[in-house]
């Protein structure tokens, strides 16, 4: 018996591409359903660290999804100092096809960041963050931040000192950080070497190293410069300052002044190296100012051999106690009438210009307070209260011009002498409060010599001679003998007209220069445009891009060719307008250049979405929304026209 064996049929190699083509065609014709998932509005809060030591800071990130450009919530907490650390918008989209249905998923919103600095220990609960948008209320997840105090030990001691608990407004407040590290002992004697590793410097978290609230202080670069560059001794890492190298960054180390000290601890007297850091501040408003604690983390050697090599290391954490400082207002008792808020130590300089003038002429008076103190609280001196000055001079009602420099503040007034015979500008008084002596001091300027003459006047007899025999004034002389003598009677009151007769030859000569100038200007302008390829390229960008799109429409190109052509037209238009190299421009590059031109954010997102759609069709056709290719040419044409109308390219 013969048995017929049937071999399996082989599928022709053109069948699979045909099936793919049919599926894409159905999508283009709208036969396959397309769904776009509406993004849900969510708030997600996250802590960078959930457990920190008292004195350290951490960051909180709030991710707001489903809202474009949302209002950023302001956070407050009774036990945490919270400040904004910026944020950024985000926008992502993805496409999927399941059982013939194409789905687009969008994720957009804003990420807000906050800096948290607790000022008490314990488990600090952060309640849900509330956001109200278009009448709807949204809440995030709650958080818990564990803040613990460092364990008691006597190897690493941290103290922040102030000279007194309260200061007068404008008085200098000095914060002193004392970091004491126990000396290493070998063979019963302390080592005269820094008790930490140069390669692993202790990390200091100093909240007031750069600034403290709105208090005035030295700028960071000037303050930190003396502690940098010392290679003979190891330094400390402070906050998150780093030095960028060619391949990697490393902590920036600060070498602090060192002294030996003996301290008594629970285990008895011990030898320490005390490292000190001082910074001066000047408060600008009254009230209570909190000084957050300083935290130090370090891996320190605790046992060394006879040659000073580490045999044992331990991790230590130390923290200073939080402090508060009261800033009191300047006392009102015994306050002179000329006190205008100056606190510190000052000198008074007064100058005037001019020194020879007539009654009623303006006199510029410059009053400068120069010295060391708080200039922000100094108000213009009330010169109208100085009796001798107000008696001889009239003060302009407008406030004086103010110029503030680093150690000086100048007020410029305008005065006018009232009468003849003024021989000097009288001495002026300005009072200030000296915080060191806790007393008011009165500055008195020296008198400045002046000469005030009578103002020039014009009497009636200087114009008209009562007898009528002579003419005494220049206007009268002109009426009698000058050109005005040609007119008399009513003719002096009648308007006189002067007409210029211009013939055709004169008009031709008058018109020839401007016409020639215009012709030369147009010729040079056209020549310059022809010689500037970028200008020609930008001028023809719209015409070239729309021509490419029209050609694609006439050719009825395939999907890949269509997306390639649209991508080249849009990117080519933008590169031509901005004089960029079109080859290699990515969607991110195009978005960055458009944002630099400050275009509408919605228009930028539409351009980016179109280019992403083209890229997906070219490089990942399995994830593209095929139905969107139907109006691709029309959408690209509309976007180019909108970019042209924006007049920002």
* Residue 7 belongs to a domain: no
**Do 202 and 319 belong together in one domain?**
yes
Whether pTM > 0.75 for this model: the answer is no
What value does the CA radius of gyration of the chain take, rounded to a whole number of Å? 41
* Residue 23 belongs to a domain: no
**Do 100 and 164 belong together in one domain?**
no
* Residue 519 belongs to a domain: no
Reduced 3-state DSSP string for 105-149: EEEEEEEEEEEEEECCCEEEEECCCEEEECCEEEECCCEEEEEEC
Of 293, 328, 363, the residue at which a domain comes to its end is 328
* Residue 29 belongs to a domain: no
* Residue 394 belongs to a domain: yes
**Positions of the chain with pLDDT under 70:** 1-38, 95-97, 99-100, 102, 104, 245-248, 457-503, 525, 527-533, 557, 581-584, 618-630
Tokens for 364, please give them.
Answer: 């510029």
* Residue 288 belongs to a domain: yes
**Do 213 and 279 belong together in one domain?**
yes
Domain that holds residue 95: 37-148
Rounded to whole angstroms, the Cα distance separating 261 from 256 reads 15
- Residue among 634, 553, 633, 628 nearest 27 (CA): 628
pLDDT for residue 36: 54
**Do 106 and 166 belong together in one domain?**
no
* Residue 431 belongs to a domain: yes
- Residue among 556, 548, 600, 595 nearest 573 (CA): 548
Of 96, 114, 148, the residue at which a domain comes to its end is 148
**Do 162 and 291 belong together in one domain?**
yes
Partnered with residue 278 across adjacent β-strands are 176
**Do 609 and 631 belong together in one domain?**
yes
**Do 203 and 270 belong together in one domain?**
yes
**Do 169 and 305 belong together in one domain?**
yes
We report the CATH number of the domain holding residue 110 as 2.60.40
**Do 180 and 307 belong together in one domain?**
yes
Rounded to whole angstroms, the Cα distance separating 146 from 125 reads 9
* Residue 586 belongs to a domain: yes
Q: Identify the sign of the CA torsion 632, 633, 634, 639.
A: positive
pLDDT for residue 29: 44
Task: Classify 209 in phi/psi space as left (phi over 0), alpha (psi -120 to 50) or beta.
Answer: alpha
Of 121, 148, 175, the residue at which a domain comes to its end is 148
Tokens for 14, please give them.
Answer: 């053109």
**Do 56 and 164 belong together in one domain?**
no
- Helices 559-578 and 632-646 pack at an angle, to 10 degrees, of 10
Give, for 238, the enclosing helix (H) or strand (E).
strand 236-244
**Do 71 and 138 belong together in one domain?**
yes
Neighbours of 43 (CB within 10 A): 22
pLDDT for residue 27: 47
Q: What's the number of domains the chain is made of?
A: 4
> How distant is the alpha carbon of residue 268 from its chain centre?
52
**Do 541 and 600 belong together in one domain?**
yes
pLDDT for residue 373: 85
């Amino acid at each position: 018996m013969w048995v017929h064996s049937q071999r399996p049929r082989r599928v022709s190699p053109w069948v699979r591409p045909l099936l793919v083509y049919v599926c894409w065609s159905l999508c283009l014709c709208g036969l396959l359903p397309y769904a776009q998932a509406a993004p849900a509005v969510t708030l997600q809060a996250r802590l960078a660290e959930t457990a920190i030591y008292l004195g350290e800071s951490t960051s909180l990130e709030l991710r707001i999804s489903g809202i474009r450009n949302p209002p950023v919530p302001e956070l407050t907490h009774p036990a945490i100092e919270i400040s904004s650390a910026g944020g950024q918008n985000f926008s992502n989209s993805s496409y999927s096809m399941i059982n013939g249905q194409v789905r687009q998923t969008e994720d957009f919103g804003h990420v807000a960041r906050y800096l948290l600095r607790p000022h008490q220990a314990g488990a600090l609960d952060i309640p849900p963050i509330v956001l109200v948008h278009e009448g709807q209320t949204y809440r995030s997840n709650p958080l818990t931040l564990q803040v613990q105090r460092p364990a008691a030990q006597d190897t690493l001691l941290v103290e922040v000192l102030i000279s007194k608990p309260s200061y007068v407004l404008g008085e200098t407040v000095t914060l002193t950080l004392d970091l004491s590290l126990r000396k290493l002992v070998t063979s019963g004697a302390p080592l005269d070497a820094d008790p930490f590793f140069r390669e692993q410097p202790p990390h200091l978290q100093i909240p007031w190293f750069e600034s403290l609230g709105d208090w005035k202080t030295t700028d960071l670069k000037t303050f930190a410069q003396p502690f940098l560059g010392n290679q003979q001794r190891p330094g400390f890492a402070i906050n998150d300052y780093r030095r960028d190298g060619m391949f990697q960054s490393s902590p920036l180390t600060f070498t602090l002044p060192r002294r030996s000290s003996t301290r008594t601890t629970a285990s008895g007297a011990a030898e320490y190296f005390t490292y000190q850091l001082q910074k001066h501040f000047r408060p600008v408003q009254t009230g209570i100012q909190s000084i957050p604690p300083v935290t130090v983390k370090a891996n320190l050697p605790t046992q060394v051999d006879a040659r000073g090599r580490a045999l044992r290391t331990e991790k230590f954490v130390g923290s200073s106690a939080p402090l508060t400082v009261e800033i009191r207002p300047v006392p009102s008792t015994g306050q002179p009438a000329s006190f205008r808020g100056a606190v510190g130590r000052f000198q008074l300089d007064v100058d005037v210009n001019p020194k020879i003038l007539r009654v009623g002429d303006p006199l510029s008076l410059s009053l400068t307070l120069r010295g060391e103190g708080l200039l922000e609280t100094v108000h213009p001196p009330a010169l109208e209260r100085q009796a001798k000055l107000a008696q001889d001079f009239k003060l302009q009602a407008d406030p004086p011009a103010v110029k503030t420099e680093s150690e000086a503040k100048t007020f410029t007034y305008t005065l006018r002498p009232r009468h003849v015979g003024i021989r000097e500008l009288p001495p002026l008084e300005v009072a200030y409060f000296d915080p060191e002596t806790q007393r008011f001091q009165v500055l008195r300027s020296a008198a400045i010599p002046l000469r005030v003459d009578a103002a020039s006047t014009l009497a009636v007899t200087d114009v008209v001679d009562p007898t009528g025999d002579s003419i005494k004034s220049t206007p009268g002389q002109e009426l009698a003998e000058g050109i005005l003598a040609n007119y008399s009677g009513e003719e002096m009151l009648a308007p006189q007209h002067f007409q210029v007769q211009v013939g055709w030859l004169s008009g031709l000569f008058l018109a020839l220069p401007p016409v020639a100038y215009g012709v030369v200007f147009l010729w040079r302008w056209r020549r310059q445009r022809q010689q500037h390829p970028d200008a020609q390229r930008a001028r023809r960008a719209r015409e070239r891009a729309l021509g490419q799109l029209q050609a694609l429409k006439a050719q009825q190109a395939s999907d890949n060719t269509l997306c390639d052509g649209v991508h080249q037209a849009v990117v080519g238009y933008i590169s031509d307008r901005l004089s960029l190299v079109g080859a290699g421009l990515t969607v991110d590059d195009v978005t960055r250049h458009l944002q630099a031109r400050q275009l509408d954010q919605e228009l930028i997102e539409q351009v980016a979405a179109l280019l992403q759609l083209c890229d997906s069709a070219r490089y990942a056709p399995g994830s593209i929304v095929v139905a969107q290719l139907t109006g691709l040419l029309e959408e690209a044409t509309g976007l180019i026209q909108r970019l042209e109308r924006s007049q920002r390219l």
